[in-house]
């Protein structure tokens, strides 16, 4: 590449040093490049006053090329084939890094969930981290657990016995991980600090009642009365099938 660059700059330097007029120099430069010379001939043939970048000066479409929608469809096929090639040639290479599944230990009680949006690395929801933990698995006594649930407030689900927290304060996902982990440590430490002082404070579970759907029962008085003959026929059918 360096050798070709030196070779092309020598004639240009000679042309400039020979005090060549600007118009003659530009003409010789375009003539040395075939695509540019053809473009220059097209401009000259049209009178030299048309702008070739103007859409109104484009050539008439002779149906010798695909339409814009056709090019979009081809681009979509290229993208699909790109991922198919990755699936066929790149994914098998990951077998060298596979590891046997190991179930989480009894001490690993925190669960973190994140969302990844393919094709959108800067999606605003990609930084969000959600932490869930089973309240019965926390290393706390009954009094300490009661104070812990008082501290988390509406983040506690008494039906699933689960505490759920989320964080999207920071731009980097790892920072949200760290904030949730540190917050859980602070809550546990605070729950162990004199839990008997709030032992008589009841849990506020109004947030559960607000989202719980009422279970409706159909009154028996609204049932349609069944005729005696029909009931006897149904009973006979049941006896025959038995």
Separation between Cα atoms, residue 32 and residue 176, nearest integer Å: 60
Q: In this predicted model, which residue has the larger pLDDT, 137 or 221?
A: 137
Kind and range of the H or E run holding 134: strand 129-134
Burial level of 183, CB count in 10 A (0-12/13-18/19+)?
middle
- Looking at the DSSP bridge assignments, the partners of residue 157 are 162
Residue 223 pLDDT exceeds 50:
yes
Residue 222 pLDDT exceeds 80:
yes
Domains defined along the chain, listed by start:
2-48 (no CATH), 111-210 (3.30.160)
Which residues neighbour 157 within 8 Å (Cβ) at sequence distance 6 or greater? 163, 164, 208
- What is residue 49's predicted lDDT score, i.e. its pLDDT? 55
Q: In this predicted model, which residue has the larger pLDDT, 3 or 103?
A: 103
- What is residue 230's predicted lDDT score, i.e. its pLDDT? 63
Sole residue written with tokens 């440590």: 185
- What is residue 11's predicted lDDT score, i.e. its pLDDT? 44
Which residues neighbour 31 within 8 Å (Cβ) at sequence distance 6 or greater? 37
Q: What are the phi and psi torsion angles at 156 (to 5°)?
A: -100, 130
- What is residue 146's predicted lDDT score, i.e. its pLDDT? 94
At 78, the pLDDT band (50, 70, 90 cuts) reads: very high
Residue 98 pLDDT exceeds 80:
yes
At 193, the pLDDT band (50, 70, 90 cuts) reads: very high
pTM given for the model: 0.51
Are 209 and 169 a contacting pair, CB within 8 Å? no
Are 130 and 181 a contacting pair, CB within 8 Å? no
Span 195-213, average pLDDT: 85
Query: Tens digit of pLDDT for each residue in 99-123?
Result: 899 888 888 899 999 998 887 878 8
Are 133 and 110 a contacting pair, CB within 8 Å? yes
Residue 177 pLDDT exceeds 60:
yes
- What is residue 68's predicted lDDT score, i.e. its pLDDT? 84
- What is residue 208's predicted lDDT score, i.e. its pLDDT? 83
């Amino acid at each position: 590449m360096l050798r070709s660059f030196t070779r092309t700059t020598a004639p240009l330097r000679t042309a400039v040093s020979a005090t060549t007029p600007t118009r003659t120099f530009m003409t010789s430069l375009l003539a040395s490049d075939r695509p540019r010379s053809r473009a220059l001939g097209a401009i000259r043939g049209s009178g030299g006053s048309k702008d070739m970048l103007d859409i109104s000066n484009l050539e008439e479409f002779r149906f010798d090329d695909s339409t814009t929608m056709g090019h979009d469809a081809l681009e979509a096929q290229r993208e699909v084939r790109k991922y198919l090639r990755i699936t066929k040639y790149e994914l098998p290479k990951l077998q060298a890094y596979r590891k046997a599944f190991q179930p989480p230990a009894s001490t690993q009680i925190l669960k973190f969930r994140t969302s990844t949006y393919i094709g959108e690395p800067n999606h605003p929801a990609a930084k969000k981290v959600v932490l869930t933990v089973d309240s019965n698995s926390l290393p706390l006594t009954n009094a300490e657990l009661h104070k812990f649930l008082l501290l988390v407030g509406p983040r506690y689900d008494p039906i699933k016995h689960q505490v759920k927290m989320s964080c999207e304060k920071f731009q980097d996902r790892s920072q949200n991980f760290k904030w949730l982990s540190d917050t859980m440590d602070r809550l546990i430490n605070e729950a162990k600090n004199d839990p008997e002082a709030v032992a008589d404070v009841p849990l506020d579970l109004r947030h559960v009642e607000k989202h719980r759907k009422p279970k409706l029962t159909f009154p028996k008085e609204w049932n349609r009365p069944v005729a005696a003959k029909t009931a006897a026929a149904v009973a006979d059918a049941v006896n025959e099938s038995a």
